Amino acid sequence: MPVGGLTTRGPRNLLRQIREAMAGASPAQDRLDTVVRIIAQSMVAEVCSIYLRRASGDLELFATQGLKPEAVHKTRLRPGEGLVGEVARSAAPISLSDAPSHPSFSYRPETGEDPYHAFLGAPLLRGGRAIGVLVVQNRSERRYDEEEVEDIQTIAMVLAETVASGELLGQEELRDIEVAPHRPERLKGQAFAEGLAYGHVVLHEAPVPPENLLAENQQVEEIRLREALIGLKANIDAMLEGGQGKLAGQSFEVLETYRMFADDRGWNRSLEEAVRTGLTAEAAVDRVRNEHRARFAKARDPYIKERLHDFEDLANRLLRVLAGDSPGERDLPPDSILVARNLGPADLLEYPRHKIRGLLLEEGSAASHAAIVARALQIPCVGRLMGLRDRLSEGDLVIVDGETGEAYLRPRPDMLSAVQSRMEVRSHRQAEFAKLRDTPAITADGQRITLHTNAGLAVDLENLDATGAEGIGLFRTEFQFMVSEELPRLDSQTALYKLVLDTAGTRPVTFRTLDIGGDKVLPYLETTEREENPALGRRAIRLGLDRPGLLRLQLRALLTAAAGRELRVMFPMIATVDEFRAARELVDVECAWAKRRGRELPALLRVGAMIECPSLLWHLDALLPLTDFVSIGTNDLFQYMFAADRTNPLVSDRYDPMSPPALRALAEIQRKCADTGTPVSVCGELAGRPLEAFALLTLGFTRLSAPAGGVGPVKRMILSADLAAARRGMANLLGSSSASIRGELETLARKLNVAI
């Protein structure tokens, strides 16, 4: 019986033969048949087969040497079916000495594979997902050794890239293969940042061209890899030292972790081993990245998934070092749409802002780093687009619809024309909003409304003057912590808060203390205990009170930054009056600490609470006298009220904020605040949408804090509203038994000529 393994150790000669076969002018099927014949001969295998994934998910036998020829294009395996399906599902190689005895074995009589026992399959990985499977088989019951497994993985990688590039199969043969889509597609995701844009795809993770996969000189590639790793570390060190001033404060601590990962022995060893198999340095990085992605993507632990993003970012940075460029130096088209699985905290800011029109993400959330930065830069962004990366090629035309949360890939001309028309309308509206920048927010019947904006990044501060907002009603301090792999130091926090106050000048700023936990996990604050329901667990003020040193450090930074000026501090997720008392006592402790050391305190200190836990609705009489102000976080208040996670697409649409229960709760808070003379504002997403903001005004609210993009539309609505008449109309709607009164509110607004 023949023994498996390459006749010449190392796949370089074999890969060269495959490339020569692909370069021929013969029909695609003939070239595929030649490829499997070459692989079978070189690996001394009696069977070699290539399966490719159809759009349906089925794996179709595309070529074989050793099985019955009539099975080609006839044998199809359902997703996960058989050993081939298991290789694709696991995205990892499988080696068996007796395949028929394996529980996943699926017998297909038309293939004639009865005599073959030994089985070795490797996935054709592209973008971390299997687009096909390469299989070799032998009659004898034997175990393939580690070198043979390594060889077939290298061959599979090259095949994946050449198939996807169209070198092995033409567009006609690839028409139903999920590797090089060319038809118009519409993907539904989630809107992370509002707006419309169209342009040409720029892949954040630039693919390695097939012609750059095979090494001409192994030693040269080893040297290139070694020098690139040194350059990568030097690049990270330079960013750490300079800070670049692009993120809030000195918030590049995350790069310290990248530096640590760059020294990771396992990662470095995997790269070195891949180069020794005959790959170029670029191909080695791409292969290791694919293997990490396939393995980490199956993890349920959010911390482990975050580590995948760290390694992804490292791999992308290393490829850029090898190419001798950076995102800012790439020759990007002026209408670039950036496409990525996810983005690290500094990635989006490294691209030339004037060329990035939109952002599409496979993963992420509205609270992710990329989404926050996109909103600050007013770049339309849609995320949660499953399978996006593998449906696009560099240069494809795409539409980003941040209004509906959709992406249109390779759109038809009529769809593009429709979007261009919508963009013209938006442009005219934006020009109208810009004219209102310095106009006071006074309703048609003379009522003064205070309109603030929300912020969380240094780049958000640029919007303060542009929008004409009267101040910052909510500054989210947690972003500085989220981009760090260690606790931001006192001087770093102080510098950020001072920058915010300096930029705001005489305009008020309300700082919300650290709101982490739930879906915002900080690795350096993790405990050994895993919470089954973190959204209802130890987050926000609960974490701050459990770890008073953490909260006191932040309060000390805030007091130091605001010396001689007004300071407004707000505690999030207060569920009981005792929690607010305890938090306020920590403020007093820090004030006393500063006094003892002769430090200047804020000229005026106001301490408030966020109302976002329904429990407070029945204890406002006890809470309000203790506060200087309160603010309503409608996002959390309503998700807790309706027991529906707003980040979960399965349930996030189960309630409407414009429902009688939600509006009655808001009306009750406003009434209690008016009775006690407590200033109250609304700082949730509702305050940034004209119809919802109109509803808030009819309930008696006169202080709103909206995202930067919502300030203009809400101000236009305010100027057109006759609140006296609107409040009379709302009073009749609150008693409705309907699940939502959104339609009735729209009718009321139109009747009163309110610009919504």
- What pLDDT, on the 0 to 100 scale, is given for residue 5? 47
240 CB contacts (<8 Å, ≥6 apart)?
252, 255, 256, 259
Question: What is the reported pLDDT for 624?
Answer: 97
User: Which pLDDT tens digit goes with each residue over 575-601?
Assistant: 999 999 999 999 999 999 999 999 999
- The predicted model gives 8-36 an average pLDDT of 74
Q: What is the DSSP string of 670-732?
A: HHHHHHHT--EEE-SGGGGSHHHHHHHHHTT--EEEE-HHHHHHHHHHHHH--HHHHHHHHHH
The larger pLDDT score, comparing residue 564 to residue 314, is at 564
Query: Are 39 and 21 within 8 A, CB to CB?
Result: no
Whole-angstrom distance, CA of residue 280 vs CA of residue 283: 5
Q: What is the distance between the alpha carbons of residues 532 and 22, in angstroms, rounded to a whole number? A: 52
CA angle 207, 168, 201 (to 5 degrees): 30
Question: Rounded CA gap, 388 and 593, in Å?
Answer: 53
pLDDT of residue 243: 45
Q: What is the pLDDT of residues 397-446, one digit of tens each?
A: 999 999 999 999 999 999 999 999 999 988 888 888 989 999 999 999 99
Question: Catalytic residue at 683?
Answer: yes
- Quote the distance between the C-alpha of residue 381 and its chain's center: 10
- pLDDT (tens digit per residue) in 260-310: 656 667 777 888 888 887 788 888 888 887 777 666 555 555 545 555 566
Options 48, 381, 673, 683, the catalytic residue = 683
Catalytic member of 292, 309, 369, 452: 369
pLDDT band at residue 184, thresholds of 50, 70 and 90? confident
Give the CA angle between residues 215, 217, 221 to the nearest 5°.
70
Here the tokens at position 522 are 């900080």
3-state secondary structure of 514: coil
DSSP 643: T
pLDDT digits (tens, 9 = 90+) for 72-115: 999 999 988 999 999 998 888 999 999 999 999 998 999 998 89
pTM: 0.67
Q: Which domains does the chain have, with CATH numbers?
A: 12-165 (3.30.450.40), 185-424 (3.50.30.10), 426-751 (3.20.20.60)
Does 613 participate in catalysis according to the annotation?
no
**Contact (CB, 8 A) for 119 and 99:** yes
CB 89 within 8 A of CB 111: no
Give residue 51's pLDDT band: very low, low, confident or very high (50, 70, 90). Answer: very high
- Quote the mean pLDDT of the chain: 84
